């Protein structure tokens, strides 16, 4: 039987056991994922793309993220639940950052928050940590900066970019984050950052040397037919499985095979 996982458990895994993080945005998926052997459920702002069909993560709001987080925590998962702070919920000011981070714990039952960026949001990170809210950092390809980056591009390439990435990771560690997501950075850069830190790194498109890995559940389950970035490995083909099941249902309705006796009430 899985025991509840805390931020301290995650810290303790550094250098001992790889950390497994998966996204979830609703209660049905959370029930399934939490029965599996995962450590962290991330209510990512990728919900904007995966659940709401947006082109980027920029459009999802604080209220929508609180709703998704609540849908996840309502089923009382044993995995650590981290809520992703959406665009404009922390960049605007330190008080905004603390208030919005606090909402995820107070209104939605999350145990920690994640936010994107290093030096430019460091005061926000320090203030949230001072409010006793555990923070996960996120560096590399930070999707809320997509327009500044000019697209979804690998980050940290070249000596100067790699140096800056490591500098930001160390700043975040000093500011008190308990872990850092490294997204779409060269494997050797992620290795160097991981070795320089006392806290765990969790990679997505950052190679095998991170202390853990994260994937969007719908990506690893093969539910997104058209979308398959290089860093995604599909462990199932649920698009075809679900489509096949719905096609069979449609055929049985049309042929009269469903509903049969087993699925009807007797008078």
Catalytic site positions: 183
Indicate the DSSP class of residue 113: E
Decide whether 191 or 201 has the Cβ nearer to ligand KIV. Answer: 201
Nearer to ligand KIV, 25 or 162 (CB): 25
Strand partners, 19: 212
Q: How many other CB atoms sit within 10 Å of the CB of residue 134?
A: 24
Residue 23 or 179: the one with the smaller Cβ distance to ligand KIV is: 23
Q: How far apart are CA 231 and CA 212, in angstroms?
A: 14
Task: List all residues 6 or more positions away from 125 whose beta carbon is below 8 Å from its beta carbon.
Answer: 115, 135, 137, 172, 175, 176, 177
Kindly give, in sequence order, each residue whose CB lies less than 8 Å from that of residue 83, ignoring residues fewer than 6 positions away.
Answer: 43, 65, 66, 69, 104, 108, 110, 112, 113, 114
Candidate list 22, 23, 178, 191; residue touching ligand KIV; CB under 6 A: 23
Residue 157 CB burial class (10 angstroms; 0-12, 13-18, ≥19): middle
201-260: contacts with ligand KIV (CB under 6 A) = 204, 214, 216
Q: Of the candidates 39, 66, 58, 86, which has an alpha carbon nearest to the alpha carbon of residue 202?
A: 39
- By CB under 6 A, how many residues form the interface with ligand KIV? 11
Instruction: Show the binding pattern over residues 63-102: x = contacts ligand KIV (CB under 6 A), - = does not.
Output: ---------------------x------------------
- Kindly write out the interface string for residues 173-192 of this chain, putting x where it contacts ligand KIV by CB under 6 A and - elsewhere: --------x-x---------
Q: For ligand KIV, which stretch binds (CB under 6 A), given 40-48, 62-70, 161-169, 241-249?
A: 40-48
Closest to ligand KIV by CB, 42 or 154 = 42
Tell me, rounded to whole angstroms, the distance of Cα 221 from its chain centroid. Answer: 15
Q: Does 45 bind ligand KIV (CB under 6 A)?
A: yes
Residues that bind ligand KIV in the complex, under the rule CB under 6 A? 23, 42, 44-46, 84, 181, 183, 204, 214, 216
């Amino acid at each position: 039987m899985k025991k509840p996982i805390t931020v301290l458990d995650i810290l303790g895994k550094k250098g001992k056991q790889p950390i497994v993080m998966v996204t979830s945005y609703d209660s049905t998926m959370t029930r399934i994922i939490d029965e599996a052997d995962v450590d962290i459920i991330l209510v990512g702002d990728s919900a904007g793309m995966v659940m709401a069909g947006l082109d980027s993560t920029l459009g999802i709001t604080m209220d929508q993220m609180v709703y998704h987080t609540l849908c996840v925590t309502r089923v009382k998962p044993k995995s650590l639940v981290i809520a992703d702070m959406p665009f404009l919920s922390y960049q605007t000011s330190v008080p905004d950052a603390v208030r919005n981070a606090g909402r995820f714990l107070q209104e939605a039952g999350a145990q920690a928050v994640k936010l994107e960026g290093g030096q430019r949001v460091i005061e926000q990170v320090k203030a949230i940590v001072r409010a006793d809210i555990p923070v996960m950092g996120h560096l590399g390809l930070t999707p809320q900066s997509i327009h500044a980056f000019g697209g979804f591009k690998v980050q940290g390439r070249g000596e100067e970019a790699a140096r800056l990435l490591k500098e930001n990771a160390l700043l975040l560690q000093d500011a008190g984050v308990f872990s850092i997501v490294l997204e779409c950075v060269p494997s050797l850069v992620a290795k160097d950052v991981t070795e320089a830190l006392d806290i765990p790194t969790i990679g997505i498109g950052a190679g095998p040397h991170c202390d853990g890995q994260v994937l969007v559940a719908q990506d690893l389950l093969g539910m997104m037919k058209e979308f398959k970035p290089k860093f995604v490995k599909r462990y199932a083909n649920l698009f075809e499985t679900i489509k096949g099941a719905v096609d069979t249902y449609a055929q049985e309705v049309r042929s009269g095979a469903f509903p049969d006796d087993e699925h009807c009430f007797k008078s």
